[in-house]
Structure 1
Amino acid sequence: MKGEQEYLTALYTRLDRLREHTQDRLDQVLHAAGLGHQGLSERDTTAAELSRRLGQLHSVENGLCFGRLTMTDGRRLAIGRIGILAEDHESDPPLIDWRAPAARPFYAATGARTEGVRIRRHLLTSGRTVTAVRDEELGAGAVAGESGGPALLEALNAPRTGRMNDIVATIQAEQDAVIRSPRAGVLVVQGGPGTGKTAVALHRAAYLLYTHRERLAREVVLVVGPGTAFLRYIGEVLPSLGESGMLLATPAELYPGITADRPEDPRTAAIKGTAAMAGVIAAALHERQWLPEDVLEIDHEGEILRLDRATAERLRRRVREEGLPHNEAAPLHRALVIDALAHGIADRLGAGVLAPDLPETDLPQTAAPAVDGEAADDPYGDAPREDAPLISEDELEDIRAELRDNPRVSAALRRLWPPLTPQRLLTDLFASPDRLAAAAPQLTAGERELLLRAPGGGWSPSDVALLDEAAELLGADDRAEREAAAAEHAERLRLAQEALDVAYGSRETEHDDGSDPESLHAFDVLDAETLAGRYAEEDHRTPAERAAADRTWAFGHIVVDEAQELSAMTWRLLVRRCPARSMTLVGDIAQTSAPGGARSWAHTLDPHLGGRWRITELTVNYRLPAEIAAPAAEVLHAIDPALRAPRAVRSTGVPPWHRTVPAAALATEAARAVAGERAAHPAGTAAVIAPPAWLPALTAAVGALPRVSVVDPRTAKGLEYDIVIVVDPHSMAPADRYVALTRATQRLGLLSPSRAD
């Protein structure tokens, strides 16, 4: 241990120097003066990278080095959370990043396949002090088993803190293969409770960022978890691995600008999650692209213009053929209608159109429909009489301009093709029985009744995917944003020109007779446009912050935990957010509790990915001792006899217990049971898991006890505790009961109300 302590001390000395050097560089960059626009931009980029690096160097203070390999060729390699180069940048690095290819044997080597490793050493540390050394000899005579041996068991038996710890020091070969799997494509990781699938997914995200740093740092890795409690639970894992640039979100947080916390009937949420809702939203949008029953009359300068249904329908069909999102198609629809109205006015005047050369326009080069609905034989309506006056294209454009300026025409256009937001489309749809009946005839009357609600009241989590679907169909209506940007640019341009005018007026004319060709002024090398550009506001947000605010962001990789719970509509959202189809999906089919959740991976994913995904399975249970794993396996068999329970690797000698008590005493008995188990196992965390109906009484009885959570099975999903008391397990759905029985790492008790109750 003495030699390892000396080596560790030297590593921390090197780490401190790197921190000081990085801080000095950051200070220099931030205090740099006299920079132009380009220099300021480069300074900000450099400062952001140095800040990220400094944060990484501080994040690895604990557990900097956790292992060493002695190879059969005599080389010795130290493995740690980050890589540290030698000071001369040429010698062998004193510390190798756990994600580097050279570190792979630390996780992959076994007694049967040594990967060139003779001794694998685990270092246990507290702060900067080595507290223990655990060696495994590989090769001839080695005993096969889980890598890490005692170090792994110490980690598994350690008290829980309420936060997930990283497993970087004890990753097993099965897990390492998943972590280092290629980035391309969609990888499904099926794993039962306690197999470490969440930790594996997070370590895989860190590994991919290390391996594809430039791309993924720019495009961002999105980690989707089932709820905010879960995200808090895993929140320290990635920073402890030196990674802080990922975006963590729940499905309810995937539509920027809204808070999706509206309570909702689970039956309503189930309907909203079905794939059929994509068609419902599309139909609702088509219904908003309005047609008059017979004729739409528009007052224009005292004249009544008439747009009949046949013409309006023909124009609508022409616009739809372009395949543009609704709001982005509005200018085309507007131009076509105005053009039709303008030709109608020309026809009413009895005039033909002289010189039918079309101006440069985005409009299709097709015949404009007559306003009265009769198709014309010539491009612009009925052929004029031989003695009819002719108007030029310029005069026709004047008519169009007058129509565009007419507020009544604009109102008619908005009625025919209204500007819509996703929020407005869904609010109007869910508030109207008639709109729902028209858009969703495939739903039963009872299902449509569940979707009905009054306007206002906010948005539910199941609305998020529907809003995203609507946004995809609508596209952006960014006219106001573009107008504001243009006004802002014009103001910057005005101020820049004023500054140059002042500079020109204050030049030293008495010494500046133009005879010195080397004499330059600001107005000689800058124009107003260039100067205005220098003062344009820079976006200093990190890529993750920008991604969180941008619904259309294309993520470089997406990690989904508890993937079996997602609805078909949420899958549509996620697939849109990752055009590269680079995803890691972890979950357990046996734990599916959401009504629209997965019953098989193929049934869930094939509609969105067309079979282009691969699956692997984690088979070892590191959380549950064998005593708890056995009854959990019985529940799993009842859910699906074809599913295999993961193999437990440890035993505590403490079997779970089951007691029946009167229902009136259940909450009191739960508190007494927690206190008794806590006396036998004082360290760590405890939880009482019960159906939602029991939570108020249990919270009142147990809430005063320290480090005890009272949760329902769905909230507990993905979490773990040292001690678990399950209340009324047989009233839970099988999947929920399976979740409840698989949260404990040490001790498990079950309390049921007596039958008479």
Structure 2
Amino acid sequence: MSPAARPETVAPDDIRPDPVLAAERAHLHRAAECLTRMRDATEAVTDAGVDAWASERLGAARAERLLALAADPGVPPFFGRTDAAGPAPETFHIGRRHVRDDAGDPVVIDWRAPMSRPFYQATAADPQGVARRRRFGFAGGELTGYEDELLEAGDDGPGEFLRAEIERPRSGPMRDIVATIQPDQDDIVRAPLAESICVQGAPGTGKTAVGLHRAAYLLYTHGGQLSRTGVLVVGPNRAFLRYIEQVLPTLGEVDVAQSTVADLTGRVPVRAVDAPGAAVLKGDGRMAEVLRRALWGEIRKPADDVLVPLTGRRYRVPVERLKRYVDDLRRRARADDDQQSLHYAAGRERLALMLAEDARRQKEAAGGSPTDAETRRAARSPEVRAFCDLVWPAQDAAGVLAALYSDPALLARAARALLDDAEQALLRWEKAPRSIRSAPWTEADAVLVDEVAGLLERTPGYGHVVVDEAQDLSPMQCRAVARRLAAGSLTVLGDLAQATSPWSAADWGQTLAGLGRPGTVVRPLTRGYRVPAEVLDYANRLLPLIAPGLPAATAVRGEPGSLRVRPVTELAGPLADVVEELSAVPGSIGVVCADDAVADVVAMMSDAGLPAVPLADDGEPPARLAVVPATLAKGLEFDAVVVVDPAAIVAAEPRGLHRLYVVLTRAVSTLVVLHRGDLPAPLAGAPAARPASR
């Protein structure tokens, strides 16, 4: 690091102030003033009153722009700077959004702009025209110090500011990482829009942040296109979405949809829970063909001629031509089944129009000239509608699935050679419900109803979709996401070692094929920036069992004392002692346990006077001291994690070792493992570390 580097200290009044620090503070204040004037100029935009539509669009655009420019007292206008090499070097301050002065000249360059890339990519070996890279330290929005890397002099090592930012205590929602993006992460963030990417990211490598920053980068670079088609972020649960919800707005991107698969497919009210076997079957990719057969199998062969009324006369369409029309439409739908170029509802409307066109050709052959409007009326005539109702009946997505579950004969026909008798029995309802809405729908059923809806009509798609924790998606959930993708691209995020669902595969091929992008390149992230080496090495002991062949992650930092493995005979006292000690240090604490132990753990801490709040999947962010069910821990981070009774976590589900790997890698600074019984064999014998002061 350059001798000019200055740690985060403010020069006292009785010491001559650093002229560099004074100049940077002046630029900071100027940037803040310019940003305020940009907001004022946006608020001053007036409506010319051309028409109602123009007024509405102007108001929406102004509101969106104001949100993008919204002030955040804790977020300074810039975080870094590059000085170009040469006799008259240009300097660029890098920030979360572009800031310009009244003349339109840049005061701060958006981190996504091409000229900002050297800030992330330049090295001493490849300076990319950068002589100096400067990072800034802030406290309460005030600039308190700076740190220089003189690339031309061979200085590009990570400094204290970068380390401090990465290790900063984490409480509340997830933050952006624009000040600390590393070259391997930046390569993924700036990949072209047309390129789909799968990120195999080990714990602490920042894969979630990389995916969100990629969305922000694409919106900046392809704003016109994506403003029409939209960007969707899909997360594993609502607690996770609440945790990440502020990242994109902090970066100035406010118009991004965020959803779980359950919310995307919520076409029916979920009232029941599947037995494990039924849930696995309903997520199986074979169900897509079962549903296709159930829907398209209801189409019948025409049995008689049809008289089509057109301009006062009736024209006979013979049954042989009717059969050909139906067969042609069915073949077209079947030939392009994956892309669904012809959906069921569109086929029904097309059939009605084909009958009307047949009558039109007959009238034209007799010397008539019916208009398009008359032909459309013929397609809507009672005679044509009655024929379509008989041959190509209108369908409702939930109704199709309800009929399949209620009618053993229909299920047997649709499942022939796909599902055996025992599997069909798992799907059948013992008793038909009184109504569709009162049916015992489960989350897996909702995904199947969404599949049928996608067969009926085209599902609106997005220009880019980011899917996090994708390793846990079932084949049918993958298809639900793929329907929202349309012709757009994907960013798939996940870690095969953290795969806890019964559909989890040993590689990404099945998931990527289900998402409709089988040729997607898998890019690994193996450098852990958040999890200490001691913690990561401990969790990595499970890899040979849960993910053979997957490269182990390596941490960029070690933190002696960050790991403590403590055998206990009872939990209450030791748990209270550990949590009380950890609470004395700023930062978030997650006490993770098996799901069915949450109430007991909360009671233990309540009895000890510790204000622990159980985390629920209701969208609320974790409290500073949160009791976390193991099944909700994925994707979250805490400064300190206490794992309570790991054996119970392993025993709670078939892929319990994978779940334990997830739980062990949630800590940013300290991991404490309290175990009453035997640890899994790979973890046994780990030396207990000294208590850490953090």
The code of the aligned residue for 1:684 comes to: G
Are residues 1:744 and 2:667 paired?
Answer: yes
Residue in 1 aligned with 2:280?
270
The code of the aligned residue for 1:723 comes to: A
> Match for 2:452 among 470, 477, 481?
470
After TM superposition, list the pairs within 5 Å mapping 1:690-705 onto structure 2: 690-702=593-605, 705=611
The code of the aligned residue for 1:632 comes to: A
Residue in 1 aligned with 2:17?
none
The code of the aligned residue for 1:22 comes to: T
Instruction: Give the distance between the partners of 2:254 and 2:356, measured in 1 at CA.
Output: 53
> Match for 1:72 among 55, 64, 85?
85
Is 329-338 or 214-223 further displaced after alignment? 329-338
Instruction: Give the distance between the partners of 1:244 and 1:116, measured in 2 at CA.
Output: 34
The code of the aligned residue for 1:696 comes to: A
Residues 688 and 708, structure 1, Cα contact 8 Å, conserved in 2: yes
Residue in 1 aligned with 2:587?
684
Residue in 2 aligned with 1:523?
none
Deviation string, structure 1 residues 680-699 (Cα, Å, up to 9, x no partner): x5221111222223223223
C-alpha deviation, 1:638, in angstroms: 2.4
Instruction: Give the distance between the partners of 2:266 and 2:200, measured in 1 at CA.
Output: 30
Residues 290 and 414, structure 2, Cα contact 8 Å, conserved in 1: yes
Residues 592 and 599, structure 1, Cα contact 8 Å, conserved in 2: no
The code of the aligned residue for 2:220 comes to: Y
After TM superposition, list the pairs within 5 Å mapping 1:280-359 onto structure 2: 280-290=290-300, 316-317=326-327, 319-321=329-331, 323=333, 324-331=342-349, 357=366
Deviation string, structure 1 residues 143-186 (Cα, Å, up to 9, x no partner): x544xx21222123222113101111111111111111111121
Residue in 1 aligned with 2:170?
160
Instruction: Give the distance between the partners of 1:250 and 1:594, measured in 2 at CA.
Output: 16
C-alpha deviation, 1:262, in angstroms: 4.4
> Match for 1:450 among 421, 426, 436?
426
Is 309-318 or 430-439 further displaced after alignment? 309-318
Identity fraction in percent: 37
3-state SS in 2 of match to 1:462: helix
The code of the aligned residue for 2:450 comes to: D
Instruction: Give the distance between the partners of 1:354 and 1:248, measured in 2 at CA.
Output: 54
C-alpha deviation, 1:289, in angstroms: 2.6
Are residues 1:16 and 2:36 paired?
Answer: yes
> Match for 2:211 among 193, 201, 205?
201
3-state SS in 2 of match to 1:653: coil
**Distance change in 2, residues 1:331/1:6 (3 Å):** closer
The code of the aligned residue for 2:596 comes to: A
Residue in 2 aligned with 1:420?
395
Residue in 2 aligned with 1:255?
265
**Distance change in 2, residues 1:440/1:556 (3 Å):** same
Residue in 2 aligned with 1:563?
470
C-alpha deviation, 1:339, in angstroms: 12
**Distance change in 2, residues 1:655/1:255 (3 Å):** closer
C-alpha deviation, 1:720, in angstroms: 0.5
Are residues 1:439 and 2:398 paired?
Answer: no
Residues 261 and 481, structure 2, Cα contact 8 Å, conserved in 1: no
Instruction: Give the distance between the partners of 1:153 and 1:339, measured in 2 at CA.
Output: 72
Instruction: Give the distance between the partners of 1:597 and 1:189, measured in 2 at CA.
Output: 16
Are residues 1:83 and 2:93 paired?
Answer: no
3-state SS in 2 of match to 1:139: helix
Instruction: Give the distance between the partners of 1:197 and 1:446, measured in 2 at CA.
Output: 41
Residues 637 and 668, structure 2, Cα contact 8 Å, conserved in 1: yes
3-state SS in 1 of match to 2:531: coil
Residues 589 and 599, structure 1, Cα contact 8 Å, conserved in 2: yes
Name stretches of at least 5 consecutive residues in structure 2 with no aligned partner. Answer: 1-20, 306-317, 334-341, 613-623, 651-655, 680-694
Residue in 2 aligned with 1:108?
121
Deviation string, structure 1 residues 692-728 (Cα, Å, up to 9, x no partner): 2322322333465242222233311010111212223
Residue in 1 aligned with 2:63?
51
Deviation string, structure 1 residues 16-67 (Cα, Å, up to 9, x no partner): 2112121111xx22xx5xx353xx3222222222222211111455221111
Residues 253 and 259, structure 1, Cα contact 8 Å, conserved in 2: no
The code of the aligned residue for 1:123 comes to: F
The code of the aligned residue for 1:750 comes to: V
Residue in 1 aligned with 2:688?
none
Residues 194 and 488, structure 2, Cα contact 8 Å, conserved in 1: yes
C-alpha deviation, 1:361, in angstroms: 9.2
Residue in 2 aligned with 1:600?
507
Q: TM-score, normalised by structure 1?
A: 0.73
> Match for 2:405 among 425, 430, 434?
430
C-alpha deviation, 1:459, in angstroms: 3.9
C-alpha deviation, 1:673, in angstroms: 4.8
Residue in 2 aligned with 1:129?
142
**Distance change in 2, residues 1:581/1:20 (3 Å):** closer
Instruction: Give the distance between the partners of 1:360 and 1:331, measured in 2 at CA.
Output: 23
**Distance change in 2, residues 1:660/1:431 (3 Å):** farther
Residues 674 and 686, structure 1, Cα contact 8 Å, conserved in 2: no
Instruction: Give the distance between the partners of 2:127 and 2:169, measured in 1 at CA.
Output: 32
Residue in 1 aligned with 2:234?
224
3-state SS in 2 of match to 1:617: strand
Instruction: Give the distance between the partners of 1:136 and 1:566, measured in 2 at CA.
Output: 43
Residue in 1 aligned with 2:110?
97
Q: TM-score, normalised by structure 2?
A: 0.79
Deviation string, structure 1 residues 560-582 (Cα, Å, up to 9, x no partner): 11111112222223323223241
Instruction: Give the distance between the partners of 2:371 and 2:266, measured in 1 at CA.
Output: 32
Residue in 2 aligned with 1:628?
535
Instruction: Give the distance between the partners of 2:37 and 2:260, measured in 1 at CA.
Output: 39
Instruction: Give the distance between the partners of 1:589 and 1:418, measured in 2 at CA.
Output: 44
**Distance change in 2, residues 1:168/1:466 (3 Å):** same
Are residues 1:647 and 2:554 paired?
Answer: yes
Instruction: Give the distance between the partners of 1:7 and 1:577, measured in 2 at CA.
Output: 44
Instruction: Give the distance between the partners of 1:311 and 1:580, measured in 2 at CA.
Output: 36
3-state SS in 1 of match to 2:43: helix
**Number of corresponding residues:** 608
Residues 191 and 618, structure 1, Cα contact 8 Å, conserved in 2: yes
**Distance change in 2, residues 1:156/1:289 (3 Å):** same
After TM superposition, list the pairs within 5 Å mapping 1:635-674 onto structure 2: 635-662=542-569, 665-666=570-571, 668-669=572-573, 671-674=575-578
**Distance change in 2, residues 1:234/1:355 (3 Å):** closer
Is 711-720 or 565-574 further displaced after alignment? 565-574
Residue in 2 aligned with 1:63?
76
Residue in 2 aligned with 1:348?
none
The code of the aligned residue for 1:565 comes to: D
**Distance change in 2, residues 1:130/1:440 (3 Å):** same
Instruction: Give the distance between the partners of 2:401 and 2:42, measured in 1 at CA.
Output: 51
C-alpha deviation, 1:360, in angstroms: 7.7
Instruction: Give the distance between the partners of 2:233 and 2:178, measured in 1 at CA.
Output: 18
Instruction: Give the distance between the partners of 2:277 and 2:413, measured in 1 at CA.
Output: 21
Residues 462 and 488, structure 2, Cα contact 8 Å, conserved in 1: no
Name stretches of at least 5 consecutive residues in structure 1 with no aligned partner. Answer: 297-307, 343-352, 364-393, 476-550
C-alpha deviation, 1:228, in angstroms: 0.4
Residues 473 and 511, structure 2, Cα contact 8 Å, conserved in 1: no
Instruction: Give the distance between the partners of 1:117 and 1:354, measured in 2 at CA.
Output: 77
> Match for 1:460 among 442, 449, 474?
442
Residues 689 and 724, structure 1, Cα contact 8 Å, conserved in 2: yes
C-alpha deviation, 1:405, in angstroms: 4.8
